[in-house]
Structure 1
Amino acid sequence: MRLLFLAVLRRHTGNAVTAERVRDHLEAAGHVCILKDASDLENSSEIAKLIEAESLEAALALHLYRGGRLLRGHGIPFGIIFGGTDLNEDVNHGEKKEVMGKVLEEARFAVAFTESMKEMAQTQWVDPVFTREVGARVKRAAGVRLIREMPQGDLHAALKNCFAVVNSSVSEGMSAAILEAMDLEVPVLARNIPGNAAVVKHEVTGLLFSDPQEFVQLAKRLVSDPALEREIVANGREYVRARHSWQAERCTYQNLIRTLEGSIQD
């Protein structure tokens, strides 16, 4: 495959060294990798001419803004390698952050060198299109606030001060938020989907709703019925401690790993 690789190639910099190393990896696999300095290619037309002249089939960019923005809209698949400046500096500039989000929408993959870089990227971008839609709707909704991610301890403290936790997901495997709320003795209202219904028994460990109207009805009922609230809280706490115990989970995984050890010995 013939690849275009964009990076900022100032001599003796970390970016230049990384780009050369990655190119060596790709060429060792039999690909043709044309490495270009992104600083020398400042507009889309230059990239288009290069793609056509070199018969390039795909592309890679080191640095989401400096390199990635030049690859948008050319009709060839591309991937991105995060650079430190992307996540430490450029995300603080509104226009650059918006451009980087659009790059990620088109990219086929993104590479982060460390777990902390991956977590920072996920915090800034999980799903850019959906994030923008949610943000726009929240701005139009009276009495609704959008709060960014927070450390688990802070989140739990906030949950304890809430009247209830609502899970409105349309798809769930097993909602950790629901289990955390039950363990913290906070009532749960959850959309009636299979993943939620597997852990929330209606009117026993929580309340399940199927549409906005039913949600409003159940929320009003919960507010006006302290006995129901107390029963749901008690049952939810007992369910979590009986069925999702941290100690039991630890033992289960340890036992499962022992079966793998036995297979190796056999």
Structure 2
Amino acid sequence: MKLLFLACLSPPTGNRTTAERISGYIQSSGHVCILRDIAEFKSSSQVSDLITEEKFEAVLMIHLYKGGRLLLDSSVPYGVIFGGTDINEDIKDEKKREVMGVVLQESRFLVAFTDQMKKIAELHWPFASSKIHVQPQGVVTKPCAKFSWGEFLQNSGVQCKNIDPYIFLLVCGLRQVKDPLFLVDAFSAWHKKEPRVHLIIIGPEVDAPFTQQVEAKVKSAFGVYLVSEKPQEELHAAMRDSFAVVNSSISEGMSSTILEAMDLNVPVLARNIPGNRAIVKHKNTGLLFFDPPEFIELSKRLISDTYLKESIVAKAKEYVEKHHSWNTERETYWKLTANLL
């Protein structure tokens, strides 16, 4: 079968990582899977023409609204993977919700990363319940063998002469829903009192005007640094060598970064939102915070309580191995792809 896979591929964010991984599964089962960026298409007719010209037999897409609106004229079967913002944010918009309902009705299957995402979809579209499969994201990490931690810190602007720093790494595309500035003021004040703590924000520019806001804010902060995106293997190595990985998002479907940190034996501090609560159990597989003061309090405890840190890391590793196996994820998509035939 020749399958078209539509997803947000640029800049390289979580959706791209997920799409590339799932595309690999589909190709390994003997099908042809062509990945295309949703941003390339302005209308559903363009996608319809592409399907006809390239003789695609089916379509898979990530994001019920961004991808789904491009398939309203589709003549081939398709499946949908919820992205996160579609169910958490776009669903609040009446016009978008109407489009998503049509897409749901015509789809062969839908995939939700969490039970909570499935419940939200069922609440709005009860008719789709039997089509929705819950499949948590699989985890694959490959830290770069030649990565230099010291060089990375130096290039990031971190000054740590004669002291061992505590590096907190916030990995995200620079857009408002990721809220990378949420902790900056509190962290800057903490750094003034404790010079060993540093916050590095790393990720691609997604929203140019917002990126300028982030750059200006970080420039005036203490102990906070902004680093451009890195190849995935280098990013995994930087995560592995950090003291902790941070997530401060307003909304998440299922954060690949959190799961990767768990797989890399790095403790996670995540904002207390539904998407994060689905994979992080407070003081068990990670730490959840509601506001900046609580983040600082929990970070201090993580630094001082070695047992807590080691316990969280061990339980998180056990959790991802049990619930986020890439083998299980692969088998799920093999079966679902067969449904498109």
TM-score normalised per structure 1: 0.51
The alpha carbon displacement at 1:243 in A equals 0.8
Q: Which moved more, 1:136-145 or 1:207-216?
A: 136-145
Question: 2:273, 2:205 → 1: CA distance?
Answer: 26
Determine if the alignment matches structure 1 residue 182 to structure 2 residue 262. yes
Match of 1:242 among 294, 297, 322: 322
Contact persistence 2:280–2:286 (CA under 8 A): yes
2:71 corresponds in structure 1 to none
2:285 corresponds in structure 1 to 205
**Given residue 230 of structure 2, which amino acid in structure 1 is its aligned partner?**
M
Match of 1:226 among 306, 309, 313: 306
Determine if the alignment matches structure 1 residue 194 to structure 2 residue 274. yes
Asked which structure has the greater CA Rg, the reply is 1
Question: 1:196, 1:188 → 2: CA distance?
Answer: 10
Compared with structure 1, are the counterparts of its residues 131 and 230 closer, same or farther at alpha carbon in structure 2 (3 Å cutoff)? same
Q: What secondary structure is seen at the aligned counterpart in 1 of 2:301?
A: helix
1:37-116 mapped onto 2 (5 Å cutoff): none
Match of 1:163 among 226, 243, 251: 243
Question: 1:160, 1:204 → 2: CA distance?
Answer: 19
1:150 corresponds in structure 2 to 230
Compared with structure 1, are the counterparts of its residues 156 and 202 closer, same or farther at alpha carbon in structure 2 (3 Å cutoff)? same
Q: CA deviation digits over 1:109-135, x for unaligned, max 9? A: xxxxxxxxxxxxxx9751112111111
RCO higher in structure (CA 8 A, sep ≥6): 2
Compared with structure 1, are the counterparts of its residues 226 and 249 closer, same or farther at alpha carbon in structure 2 (3 Å cutoff)? same
Determine if the alignment matches structure 1 residue 128 to structure 2 residue 208. yes
Question: 1:135, 1:234 → 2: CA distance?
Answer: 36
Q: CA deviation digits over 1:114-170, x for unaligned, max 9? A: xxxxxxxxx975111211111111101111111100101100111111000010111
Q: CA deviation digits over 1:160-199, x for unaligned, max 9? A: 1100001011111110110000000000000001111111
Question: 2:297, 2:251 → 1: CA distance?
Answer: 22
Question: 2:269, 2:205 → 1: CA distance?
Answer: 28
Which protein is richer in helix relative to its size?
Answer: 1
Task: Tell me how many residue pairs correspond in the alignment.
Answer: 141
Question: 1:207, 1:126 → 2: CA distance?
Answer: 27
Q: Percent identity?
A: 60
Runs of at least 5 residues in structure 2 that lack an aligned partner in the other structure: 1-202
Compared with structure 1, are the counterparts of its residues 236 and 213 closer, same or farther at alpha carbon in structure 2 (3 Å cutoff)? same
Contact persistence 2:204–2:228 (CA under 8 A): no
Question: 1:181, 1:126 → 2: CA distance?
Answer: 22
Q: CA deviation digits over 1:210-233, x for unaligned, max 9? A: 001000000000000011101100
Q: What secondary structure is seen at the aligned counterpart in 2 of 1:260?
A: coil
Contact persistence 2:245–2:267 (CA under 8 A): yes
Q: What secondary structure is seen at the aligned counterpart in 2 of 1:166?
A: strand
Compared with structure 1, are the counterparts of its residues 125 and 168 closer, same or farther at alpha carbon in structure 2 (3 Å cutoff)? closer
**Given residue 218 of structure 2, which amino acid in structure 1 is its aligned partner?**
V
Q: What secondary structure is seen at the aligned counterpart in 1 of 2:262?
A: helix
Compared with structure 1, are the counterparts of its residues 152 and 124 closer, same or farther at alpha carbon in structure 2 (3 Å cutoff)? closer
Match of 1:141 among 209, 214, 221: 221
The alpha carbon displacement at 1:260 in A equals 2.7
Runs of at least 5 residues in structure 1 that lack an aligned partner in the other structure: 1-122, 262-266
1:111 corresponds in structure 2 to none
Question: 2:283, 2:212 → 1: CA distance?
Answer: 35
Q: What secondary structure is seen at the aligned counterpart in 1 of 2:229?
A: coil
Determine if the alignment matches structure 1 residue 214 to structure 2 residue 304. no
Question: 1:139, 1:125 → 2: CA distance?
Answer: 16
Q: Which moved more, 1:181-190 or 1:140-149?
A: 140-149
